[in-house]
Amino acid sequence: MLVINLGCNMKRIDKNSNKTKLDSSEGIELKPLCDESITKIISKEAGLSKPFNIVNLTAPNKKHLHIRGYVDFYGGYAEHCRRVLDGLHNTGKYCLKLTPIKTPVDIDPIVWNRMNKYVHPSYFNIKESDYLCIGCPGWFKKDFLPSDRKVIGWTMIETETVQPDLINFLNNADIIWNPTQICYDRMKKSGVSTEMDIVHLGYDEKEFNQDVLPLDIPQLRGRYVFGVLGSWNCRKGIKEIIHAFCKAFDKNDQVSLFMVCKYGTRPYDETNGRLKEEKEKWCIKWEFEKYLEEIGLSKEDAPHIALLDIPVHESILPNIMANMNCLVGFSKGESTWLPGLQAMATGIPIIQLKSECSGFMDYLSDVAFLCEDSNLVMAEEEDYLGTSELYEGVKLAKGNVDELSHMIKEVYSIRKELKNSSNITNGINKAKDWTWDKSIEQINNRLLKI
């Protein structure tokens, strides 16, 4: 006998009958559902009522894990750290403690409350814990790391080689996890001697799939949409993408460049040490207009470009991405490029720059259109200032804007064929090897061996 709880309609399915019927004569006790009660189902066939499996946080088989990382904003590191915490917690095998780099106040209240529960957990034994640091490589300075516990660093690098100071930081850890093979190879090539392993990132297949409905954005209706998604900085090639798009189309074409900055325009705050004359530089709209000036275009003459400059939480991100017909990247260096993986899973083709600094090559399939004309050049101040000073003195890739412009036009010209292409299906299937469930499984397996 199988009892299915459908709220007010409690149905009993008799395994010896094809009929579905309501029946309380077999010893099934039904109680109404409400916020303060739990429906209790007792079957004579089972002979007993199965109790709930209550997790005991003080059980000796719990692994205590102290995690340090960002959790308080809408960027990749923070989203990654939040998913690791929730994923490991849901295995039931860990007691977790979070030391956030900042106080979690810049995210919505529901996420804030969930993360705060990890900050001061009951029963956590710090002396018995391992230490997992998720994030910027610069955090592996000796001053930041505990000396009495095993230290695992899960981090990445986007440059061709690793800065000498950074090599020393990484060698302070007991184990380094890299998200992609190319990232692993960069560190090995540069002389990182710490034990290393590959533990990839992932996407949530329940959120990113072909069934996701797009958010209705009136400005994009009737247009073929090239999307840009991620942080707004020079390393991501934002300026080059705008330039290439403006070379490919004019204001009469029914296309749009839909630019989504997950952070949004950051409000100026005099208490954070920025100079007053830098205030306008933190406005994305201001930066966009400066980019247009540099390539000699006015807003009136440019093809249609839409800019979303408010912070975008991951809960709505799939619906925003579903508006895109093609995701465009042109990163000078990238460890994983999670938006590309999410786009693949959603059935969206990708354009990106292929180079020695392109970690996303681990998962890309025929759904990707790759620009291959690139040179390695020394990182410029605008590539690292305010982002990561650890890029100073090392090389990033620089792509060809004309090749990118040609690729954008090429994708637009075959847009109808792409819609039902087997390459899109292959990309979706390939992405399934990179889900968050599989990432958490990898993390769990690595931790159990330590």
Average pLDDT rounded to a whole number, residues 200-217? 92
DSSP 8-class letter at 270: G
Indicate the angle between helix axes 76-90 and 436-449, nearest 10 degrees.
Answer: 70
Domain 218-268+278-432 has CATH 3.40.50.2000: yes
Domains of the chain, by residue range, sit at 1-51, 63-202+436-449, 218-268+278-432
What's the confidence (pLDDT) of residue 268? 45
What's the confidence (pLDDT) of residue 409? 97
What's the confidence (pLDDT) of residue 66? 95
Average pLDDT rounded to a whole number, residues 270-290? 60
Alpha carbon 72 to chain centroid, angstroms: 14
Exposure string for 15-36, b = 16+ CB within 10 A, e = fewer: eeeeeeeeeeeeebeeeeeeee
For residue 425, give the amino acid letter. Answer: T
Assigned fold of 63-202+436-449: Rossmann fold (3.40.50)
What's the confidence (pLDDT) of residue 45? 42
Interatomic CA distance for residues 69 and 299, integer angstroms: 40
pTM listed for this prediction: 0.81
Q: Report residue 282's pLDDT band, with 50, 70 and 90 as the boundaries.
A: low
Closest CA to 212 of 96, 320, 303, 79: 320
From residue 111, alpha-carbon distances to 74, 104, 439 in Å are 11, 9, 21
**Which two tokens mark 342?**
């999410």
* H or E element that contains 409: helix 401-413
Q: What is the pLDDT of residues 37-92, one digit of tens each?
A: 333 334 444 444 555 555 555 555 789 999 999 888 777 788 889 999 999 999 98
CB atoms under 10 Å from CB of 127, counted, come to 7
Per cent of the chain over pLDDT 70 is 80
Interatomic CA distance for residues 144 and 146, integer angstroms: 7
* CA triple 391-392-396, angle to 5 deg: 55
DSSP 8-class letter at 384: H
Is 374 strand, coil or helix?
A: strand
Q: Of residues 327 and 35, which shows the higher confidence score?
A: 327
pLDDT at 35 over 60: no
What's the confidence (pLDDT) of residue 68? 92
| Cα atoms in the Cβ-side hemisphere of radius 13 Å centred on 56 | 4
What's the confidence (pLDDT) of residue 142? 86
**Which two tokens mark 295?**
């390539």
Q: What is the pLDDT of residues 138-164, one digit of tens each?
A: 788 888 888 889 999 999 888 888 888
Q: Report residue 264's pLDDT band, with 50, 70 and 90 as the boundaries.
A: low
Average pLDDT rounded to a whole number, residues 102-108? 67
Q: Do domains 63-202+436-449 and 218-268+278-432 have the same CATH topology?
A: yes
pLDDT at 227 over 80: yes
